[in-house]
Amino acid sequence: MNFRKYLSTEDRGFVVDMTALVDIAFIIILFLGIVSTLAPVSSINVELPKAVAEKTAVEPVKVFVDKDGNYYIGNKKVDENQIAQYLQEKQAKAMVIIADRRVEYGKVVRLMDIAKRNGVEEINIAVRRGQAK
C-alpha cells in the first residue's frame, strides 16, 4: 500500500499530542504529594487512642512505648535509666508519651514517674483526633 498518496504535500511531519500524557503526569505527582503527607509519625508501630483536645505549644521530649512495652526516644530503643539520663541532659520541662493503646498501664505510669523525678513539669499523652470508642 502506498500511504504517501494520502498525505498532503505540505504535511509530511509526524506530530504527537502530549496533552493527555502531561495531564496524567500531573495527576500522578499530585497523588504522590498527597500520599506522602499521610506518612506515619514514626517508624515505630504505635496505634494511638482517639481524643478531641488540641496540641501543646511547647516542643516536648517525645518518648514512644510500643505494644510490647519497649521504650524509644527517636528510633533508639532505651531503658528506664537511659530515659532518666536523657531527661536530665536535655533539662526537659515537657514530655509527650506516645504509647500504643494496647500497652500495659503500669509502663506508662512508670514513665510518668521517671519524668517527674527528673524535672519534667508537663506530661502529655498523644492521641488521635476523633470520638473515643
Q: Is 43 within a domain?
A: no
Grid cell, residue 24, equals 496524567
What would you measure as the largest C-alpha separation in the chain, in angstroms? Answer: 92
Same domain for 73 and 123, yes or no, is yes
Closest alpha carbon to 102 in 50, 37, 49:
49
Looking at the structure of the chain, the number of domains it has is 2
Same domain for 28 and 60, yes or no, is no
Grid cell, residue 23, equals 495531564
pTM: 0.57
CA distances from 67 to 8, 14, 56, 89 (A): 73, 62, 24, 27
- Give dist(CA 69, CA 92) in Å, integer: 22
pLDDT in tens, the chain (133 residues): 566 655 555 555 677 788 889 999 999 999 988 887 776 556 677 787 887 776 656 578 999 999 999 999 988 999 999 999 999 998 888 999 999 989 988 999 999 999 999 999 999 988 888 776 6
Same domain for 56 and 111, yes or no, is yes
